[in-house]
Amino acid sequence: MRLQAARRVCVLTGAGMSAESGIATFRDALTGLWSRFDPAQLASEQGFRADPRTVWAWYAERRDAMRAAQPNAGHHALADFARRRRGVLTVVTQNVDDLHQRAGNTEAIRLHGDILADRWFDRCARLPACATHEAEPGRPPRCARCGNLVRPGVVWFGEMLPPGGLEAAERAAAASEVMLVVGTSGAVWPAAGLASTARQVGAWVVIVNPHPSEIDAQAHEVVRGTAAIELPCLLSMGADSS
């Protein structure tokens, strides 16, 4: 098994992996009360500036759901592999929850930010900058000194990825000998390009997804199953033989 011999393994995870823990995907979260909203109204700078209270309420609901969710067998399999094969595994995730971290992969690269983290909406003009935890309670919280609003620490439409995140992910993919792409549709770029980056340098690319993805053609193997079922099997075969 290639995982046994691999000295560098990169794993890209997407919304399908968190869905197995009961976390709705971005589109699926736009149901019920929220079905009348365009995604750009709830996940963009323009939408937040126009109606910060509504946007904050939607993210507060999603935050509650993510805090209640638990890592599934796929998250734990990755964390167990990382403990057994120290220094071998790099987890890159498009998910904004903290399930990888709670399972044990505390250094996972978050391409799209952290929904449970707060940040200022506008750049703070004060030196030293105001701290978000000092904001006055509200929906959303607001700085008592400058009026700046607090927003969730996710990447919205039209925004750049977190500084250094994509570069670190590309380095991990380019250094990998095995690349696992788990639970992602392959429709969101630049994350979807990591499989191609890995394949170009000779990595063995495996896609784990119960549904076809837009990057299946980049894979040497496609495993039609879910992360919680397939990753424990795959990664146990990557255990040290000693």
Give the residue numbers marked as catalytic.
Answer: 112
Contact call for residues 20 and 227 (beta carbons, < 8 A): yes
Q: How far apart are CA 241 and CA 226, in angstroms?
A: 26
CA distance 189 to 200: 17
Q: Which two tokens stand for residue 236?
A: 């146990």
Neighbours of 13 (CB within 10 A): 29
CA angle 184, 92, 29 (to 5 degrees): 45
Q: Give me 177's structure tokens.
A: 């000998």
Q: Give the integer Cα–Cα distance in Å for 182 and 208.
A: 5
